[in-house]
Amino acid sequence: MPAPAPHTEAAIASVRRQSPGRRTVVALRGELDLHSAGRLEPRLLPLLERGGGELVLDLAAVTFCDSSGVELFLRLNGRCAADASVVLQGIPRQPSRVIRLLGADRALRCEFDLTP
């Protein structure tokens, strides 16, 4: 019987600021669940407090996301000022299923990765 795959807690892989359009792109990686969402939130909130623009969460390297991860995205979006927003980009298959199932794609700007 093969050993289960190791749990890879979600983490911030990189943060990039883009001045035109005032975008901050945060690449996340790993598994986004109840435990890791709670650890990521205090690291992401200060990026919102810089005011205005977009906080782009690049999910291309997120291998798993449950409802706690989606709730984190919605909380971040709710904390945005009127001139700011959260954008999810590069959303792979598994997280996209959860985001759509919970209807979060109607509240957040989502750019799904459509490659098979």
| pTM (2 d.p.) | 0.87
pLDDT classification of 50: cutoffs 50, 70, 90: low
- Residue 43 corresponds to which tokens in the numbers above? 């690291």
Q: Are 33 and 68 in contact (CB under 8 A)?
A: yes
7-44 pLDDT per residue, tens: 677 788 888 887 666 889 999 999 999 999 999 999 99
Q: What is the dihedral of CA 2, 96, 63, 109, to 10 degrees?
A: -170
- Residue 5 corresponds to which tokens in the numbers above? 């795959």
